[in-house]
Structure 1
Amino acid sequence: MNGSLPSSPGVMDIELKRGPSGLGFNIVGGVDQQYVVNDNGIYVAKIKEDGAAALDGRLQEGDKILAINGVVLEELTHRAVVELFRTAGEDVKLRVLKKLSRHMNGPLGSRPEQESSMSSLGVLAVLAGAAAVVAFIFMRHHRKHF
């Protein structure tokens, strides 16, 4: 599974030096533990305070790790990736796809921006419908008393 990934927008190479507590971040994902629907990728779940990744500052929660020391992570299990990290040595080279800044909702921003406006429209429609029902009942109730 060794290979090279072409550079593209949002892709960054980061080299971290393993510290006393490792590289200083947790991962999620893999073919056996999909974190994002229809994506077997490995994602940064948590950056540990004062760890190597936090001190470097470039790796962020939600970033997708594409390769470790040139080993492409596509189609690997979570356990296989953990083992790659454990055996990666002191200087670890990561190829990372940075999360897009517009993705702020959900664990990794997997929800489109339009969803929140659509749900707001749905709430408004329900409220308008409820108001119409109340108005109908009110008008019908008053007609009976005349």
Structure 2
Amino acid sequence: MNGSLSSNTVDIKLKRGPAGLGFNIVGGVDQQYVVNDCGIYVSKIKEDGAAALDGRLQEGDRILAINGVKLEEQTHRAAVDLFRTAGEDVELRVLKKSPHHMNGSSDSQADPALSAPYLGLLAVLTGAAAALFAFVYIRNIRRPF
């Protein structure tokens, strides 16, 4: 692995525990997790597993390489086999997750560009409700008892 890493790329060394490395992966050329991206991504960190205890690997991170073997253009099955045969001490090159690329991570934040139309709709509905309330209120005030 070369020495020049982007600011979002980290090398993580894990020691395989009784339950393995402690995370699940998704993706590959045959099972894209991110649209138009064949990368291998962390889908779940298992509680008390090696990855959780280390704390640096997060759900949504892209794994670029394992023990120096690049994961680009790998099928999902080939990537799983690389993880299973990686040995006890494993070095991962990881691209930290970008909140704009995930298809459905439960803890990902909404894209502000996608939520703007919903805010507009909410404003229109709030205005309509206020107008209806004002109409009913004024109509009932003018009515004698």
TM-score band w.r.t. shorter chain: 0.7 to 0.9
In structure 1, the gaps of 5 or more residues are 136-146
| Normalised TM-score (structure 1) | 0.75
In structure 2, the gaps of 5 or more residues are 133-145
**Alignment of structure 1 residues 1-146 onto 2, 5 Å:** 4=2, 6-100=4-98, 106-107=104-105, 109=108, 112-125=111-124, 127=125, 131=128
| Secondary structure class of the residue paired with 1:40 | coil
Distance in 1 (CA, whole Å) between partners of 2:26 and 2:52 is 18
Asked whether the equivalents of residues 44 and 65 of structure 1 are also in contact (C-alpha less than 8 Å), the reply is yes
Report how far residue 116 of structure 1 moved. Answer: 1.4
| Secondary structure class of the residue paired with 1:92 | strand
State how many pairs are aligned.
130
Alpha-carbon RMSD: 3.0
Distance in 1 (CA, whole Å) between partners of 2:109 and 2:37 is 11
Relative distance call for 1:68 and 1:104 in structure 2 (3 A) is closer
| Secondary structure class of the residue paired with 1:13 | strand
Deviations 1:48-98 (A, max 9, x none): 011000110110111111110111111110000000001111000000011
